[in-house]
Amino acid sequence: MPWLLLGAACLGSFAATASGTTRAPFLIDMARDLSVNLVLVANLVSMTATAWGITSFVAGWASDRLGRRAFLIGGPFALALCMLGVSQAGDFLGVAIWATIGGGCSGTFMGVIFAEVAERVAASHRGRALSWVMAGQSLTLVVGVPLAAWVGASIGWRGWHVALATLAAAGSLSLYAATARTTAAAAARRRAAAAARGRLTFPVIALLAISIAERVCYGLVVVYFATFLLEQYQVGLEAVALPLALVAVGNVVGTAAGGQLADKVRDRLLLFGLCMALTAGAGLALFLWRPSIAVSVALGFTYVFINALGRPALMAALAAVPEDVRGTVLGLNGTCASVGWVGAAALGGWMIATWGFVGFGPLSAALALLGAAMAFTQRRR
């Protein structure tokens, strides 16, 4: 296992995800400071996700032809500059521009680092290796957001963005040390990529569609779980801090266990499909059975744990493509993830407006069963 690369990848993915996720505690302060309404500041998430999805595909495709090191080092470094830009912006337009560009910089990094890690390890170890990269993303919910609230109380949202810039710069330096390659190796990869075309087959496209369904299922809970608790149990905002942390821990533990499990099973898509089928049942229970807040938190933990348990198996299956298109495929996976997040926000908002949270159970179950059915169908391919 290339531990130096995995550590650098975990740090880089933490910085990339934290650049958008850890903005949540500062939305009210940012709206007040920039003299805009809260909804406008909240829309920074959509701007960031859109830019992330676009650049993830472009960078993945380009990395298969030009090499990956420039994207792995340059993406976090450019992100650091963008976070400094956000900290110095005098109005909302400036913040929006720098945050959107920062989302694009994160996108150039994430798909490519998955491809780099998949290349450096044997197929039998990819589940565990890729789970390390995903762990960096998961830790933003467990560590990043609480840390932002704690540190931000002293330095404000502008100071926190300076801290994020420092973190991204550290990620860039660590990746510089971890990805040293010879010129001959990079040239050989470019020749191999130039010699192959048309490898995005239907099974690969089907796996990317499955990834969208899985991200929508995950996003429905992550985006709306706090609102669900507040509305269902009529508690204060401070009462949902610990439940959200516990649910985030479920994601971290599930990802770690899923990486180990993905390397022990022969049929990774079968594992993923079973996890999605179980996710459907957990979603129905979470949103339809609500006897107490403790039960809802336990069900939320179970939901994200099962979901995360199958994610490394799907990523390992996506990485099992020819080397010359691995960056393109995993870059497209980042694009699909962005589509899934935007879809979760849109579907969740529509469901709340029409049926309320009672409709979340059937909606999440239907999407999870769709993902499971597609996974079972694609197993032999």
- pLDDT number for residue 150: 81
- pLDDT number for residue 183: 43
The alpha helices in the chain, defined as continuous H runs, are: 3-21, 27-34, 38-42, 44-66, 69-88, 92-120, 126-139, 145-178, 183-195, 202-233, 241-262, 268-288, 293-319, 323-354, 360-378
Residues 123-165: pLDDT tens digits? 788 888 888 888 888 788 777 877 887 888 788 889 999 999 9
Output the CA angle 309-61-129, nearest 5 degrees.
30
Q: How far apart are CA 7 and CA 24, in angstroms?
A: 26
- Provide the residue ranges of all domains of the chain, joining segments of one domain with +: 3-195, 202-378
The CATH class of the 3-195 domain is mainly alpha
pTM across the whole model: 0.77
Q: How many residues are present in the chain?
A: 381
Residues 228-287: pLDDT tens digits? 888 888 877 567 778 878 888 888 899 889 988 988 888 888 999 999 999 999 999 999
Kindly give the parts of the chain with pLDDT less than 70: 181-200, 237-238, 380-381
Architecture of the domain made up of 202-378:
Up-down Bundle (1.20)
DSSP codes, 31-83: HHHHT--HHHHHTHHHHHHHHHHHHHHHHHHHHHHH-SHHHHHHHHHHHHHHH
